[in-house]
Amino acid sequence: MARWKNANMDGDAIRALKRDVLYREAAASFRKNGYHGTSLDEIAAKIGLSKATLYYYVKNKRDLLYRCHMAASDEAMSSVCVDQSLTAFERLYRTLKDYVRSCLAEGSYTVIILEEKSLSKSQLQEVIKRRDQFYDAILAIVAEAIEAKDIRPCNPKFAVLTFLGAVNWVTKWYRPDGDWPIDDISTSVAAFVCRGLQQGAVDPFPGSSLL
């Protein structure tokens, strides 16, 4: 996949780049086979390095997963739309669209599934903390949009958990060689979610208590 040695800059920069390639390839493997189903040999082979060399860049297999999660949560946070000139509903739409796009982009760090026993206690805490920051950012937008009557009155926590399912799940079925371009997917998923949330539409199946 991503080739090694084809960089020519100096020292630290090069090292950072290499580490980055490592994280992206590792994330891809973790996504496909899960943490326990991925061997370091596999990852090393993908980037044309010996397994032992990985330990020059990373302390642990665990640590490698942790770094992926960290990079992924940074990426996620950066898709949160903060343009206050837009309505909250509009911001939600853009956020979801961008988030889907970044998750599907080649070389994403996103791992999605967190198998228990794959991280240390403190690492797990940090990962969850970061994930919650992302959730909270979205939650805030949703709450604001409810206030603004763009989104129907509902339990915003439940709403976020539910629609992020549709969003996260995309990484499970997306095929780069499939019929649908990433942009079409991201806009369509975001629009679907927003329609499901929106205020005012006739409710075909009324009586649901949470959303």
Partner DNA sequence: AATGAATGAGGGTTCATTCAT
Partner DNA sequence: TATGAATGAACCCTCATTCAT
Contact residues for DNA, defined by CB under 7 A = 4-5, 11, 14-15, 18, 38-41, 49-53, 55-57, 59-62
Partner from a second copy, DNA, none binding residue 15, C-beta < 5-8 Å depending on class:
DNA
Least gap, CB of 30 to DNA (angstroms): 10
Partner from DNA, a second copy, none binding residue 5, C-beta < 5-8 Å depending on class:
DNA
185: its two tokens? 């997917």
202: its two tokens? 């006739």
From the list 22, 13, 7, the residue with the least C-alpha distance to 57 is 22
Which position has the token pair 């009155």? 153
By CB under 8 A, what part of segment 89-148 binds a second copy? 89, 93, 113, 115-118
139: its two tokens? 């939650």
Partner from DNA, a second copy, none binding residue 184, C-beta < 5-8 Å depending on class:
a second copy
Q: Is 166 in the site for a second copy (CB under 8 A)?
A: yes
Q: What angle do CA 152, 164, 132 make, to 5 degrees?
A: 100
127: its two tokens? 């990962």
What is the C-alpha to C-alpha distance for residues 180 and 116, in angstroms, rounded to an integer? Answer: 33
Tell me the DSSP string of 13-34.
Answer: HHHHHHHHHHHHHHHHHHHHH-
Q: Which of 41, 48, 132, 180 binds a second copy (CB under 8 A)?
A: 180
Least gap, CB of 57 to DNA (angstroms): 7
Q: Which of 18, 27, 35, 123 binds a second copy (CB under 8 A)?
A: 35
In the complex with DNA, which residue's Cβ is closer, 19 or 152? 19
* Other Cβ atoms closer than 10 A to 26: 27
Partner from a second copy, DNA, none binding residue 158, C-beta < 5-8 Å depending on class:
a second copy
